[in-house]
Structure formats: C-alpha cells, structure tokens
Amino acid sequence: MKIRVINPNGSAGMAQLLEATCQGIKAADTQLSVIHLPGSVASIEGAADGVCAAYHLLGAMRQGQEEGVQGVVIACFDDTGLDAARELASGPVLGIGEAAMHAASMLSVRYSILTSLPRSIHIIERNMHSYGLQRRCANIHAADIPVLELERDPAHYLRLRALGQQILRDDRSECLVMGCAGMSQWAQRLQEDLGVPVVDGVQVALKWVESLVQLGLGSSKSLSYAWPRSKAV
C-alpha cells in the first residue's frame, strides 16, 4: 500500500529524521514516501506558521491523491491542516498529535504532554477540545526549546528527561506523550529511563494509518469531510 508521511514544514533535515524512524517500523508491503514542503515555514511555532504550512499542505494532499496515495500521516504535533487534508483524501489521514493522544488514552488513565514551546500549548489544547480528548490528559507542558534546536542538539535529552520526571510526579501521570515530531528520536530512551510508556505520535500514526488502509477504512466523505465544492465562477 502507498503511505505518505508529510512533514508540513520546509525542513528537509526533519524529513530525513522522520524517514529513518518510519522505515524501521513500516509493514513489509508499505510503499513509504516521506516528504517535506519546500516553501513552507522552516518550523511551525504558533498559529501563523501553522496557516502557512497548512496552505502548502493542500497542494501536497491534492498531488498525493492523484498519485494514488492511500493513507497519510501529518507529522507535526499541531495536526496542522488536518481537517482540510481530510477533505482532499479518500483514505485515512492521521495527525501525529491525535494519534499520540488516542494511544496514550488506551495505555493509561492519565497522561501528560511535553511539547516544545509555550505558544504551542493553546494549539494542542484547541485540537484536544475539538477531538474531545481532554478527559485523560492531565496537563500540557512546554520544554521551551525551539523546534529546530530539538532536532539539532542531542544534549537537550537531559533536560527532557528531568522535565519528564518532574511532570510525572506533579501531574500524577502514568504516561508521557512526546509533543513534537522533533522529539521522536528520544522516545524509546526516555521510556526506558522513566519507566512509563512514552508515546511518539509519528510511529503510532504510521502504524495506524497502515491498519486503517488494510481494513478499508478511510475519511468519511459525507458532510464535514466531503470533497471541496467547485466554485461556480
């Protein structure tokens, strides 16, 4: 099956990191393509960045649909442009934010999210209320590290681990969600160090999109996610 992972910002480096993660876990029969969006913002830090990235995502979605892509992962924890993307696809489209939150809800009764910047908290919270998932999320925290820094400097791991320990204790949480695609690389190590499940939405979303495609389940094309109307000019 043809699955596409879209990094909605313009960073080729992050797309390479994502590709490394995804190639290691994809199903044998998955034709995987991991792309970034040249022309989009360098990183998505806030709502204006998100609008710009979502705009570039539209083109990538239309092209993917034409190319026969059967399932899509949007690899930004903000689930950038998710509703719009579903309007443009017949197959399943999952954001890594929603996938991680749904998974954490089935592994624990109380989880916390650790994202990059304070300004992203509102965006994640807004999504969470749209999905209706706020019940099991204890809190959303920001490491206050810019997205591209996360990716570049492995030394940030120690700070993430210390934050993770404090968050679990203060929030009485039983599971930690990596709230940024740039943190994917540390999920496994952090899980070993913290002793609770640490959820990376990139991995979960990829596997779940594969399974939905296999089961013949795609975005509903009735009402909210119907194909866009053509404009009578």
Report the site for a second copy in 31-90 (rule: CB under 8 A).
41-43, 45-52, 54-55, 57-58, 81, 83-84, 86-88
**Is 35 or 196 the residue whose CB approaches a second copy more closely?**
196
Q: Which of 1, 2, 16, 27 binds a second copy (CB under 8 A)?
A: 27
Nearest approach, Cβ of 222 to a second copy (angstroms)? 5
Please report, as residue ranges, which positions from 168 to 207 form the binding site for a second copy (by CB under 8 A).
Answer: 168, 172, 174-175, 188, 191, 195-197, 199-200, 203-204, 207
Q: How far apart are CA 203 and CA 206, in angstroms?
A: 5
- Compute and round to an integer the Cα radius of gyration of the chain: 17
Which of 33, 65, 102, 157 binds a second copy (CB under 8 A)? It is 102
DSSP per position, 63-107: HHHHTT--EEEE-STT-TTHHHHHHT-SS-EEEHHHHHHHHHHHH
1 in contact with a second copy (CB under 8 A)? no
12: its two tokens: 């080729």
Among 130, 162, 166, 170, binds a second copy (CB under 8 A): 130
Our CA angle for 12, 17, 18, nearest 5°, is 95
The answer to whether residue 229 forms part of the interface with a second copy (CB under 8 A) is yes
